[in-house]
Amino acid sequence: MTSNTTTKVKICGNTNIEDAILAAEAGADAIGVIYVANTKRYIDLGAATRIFDAVPIFVSKVVVLTLDKDPIESVQDKINRIVDTGADCIQLHGDEPVELIADLREFLNAQVKLIKKVGVGGTKKKCLENALAYENVVDALLLDTVTGGAIGGTGKEHDWSISKEIVERVKKPVILAGGLNPDNVANAIAFVKPYAVDVSSGVEREVRIKDAVKVNRFIEAAKSAEKS
């Protein structure tokens, strides 16, 4: 489902205040941080709080984490600590079952929005089934490349025809991720027509550090891309 004419942009994998402010000033609609231990762009919740405190009020603040199959009772304290950072979106990037996300939705009581990653790899039928399974318990879906067991930030594209069909079939906003960069994001938007795009490694100078030129080029390309 695509309801906006201008594509929203999320700059993810921020590890410091300077990069987050850079993205916001360049026109990003959302700033993301990674709260997944033992990943390249992990930061703790104290650092996330400092970044979010520095970000302008009308920019969404997203914490990416994995809960996998943990029962809701065991993750409530973690979720409360994430909410305390000032996050207004939680992006679940693991193998969380629909039931857990439904319980989390009830626990949060719409306090923050929920985004669920759906991995794109394998058959179109399976990817579409996964997306449709989650659409009624989340506020948005994020499509990311499945490769080598990585949860994201791989810099690798996936089959955009699968993402295009998911966008056409689901009733919730769809965020396109996976291998996007300033040179291909306009074509991706024109073909897939997502609600938003998400980038991390594609706008870095080196791992964990954003490149100002790439960030500006990416956002300009995404905002000016035609969806029709």
Catalytic positions: 12, 144
In the numeric block, which tokens belong to residue 131?
Answer: 């997306």
- Tell me which residue has tokens 């997203």: 62
Q: Are 5 and 218 in contact (CB under 8 A)?
A: no
Task: Give the three-state DSSP class for 196.
Answer: strand
- Tell me which residue has tokens 């400092």: 50
Rounded CA separation 206/208 (Å): 6
Task: Give the three-state DSSP class for 11.
Answer: strand
CA angle (193, 146, 16) in 5-degree steps: 80
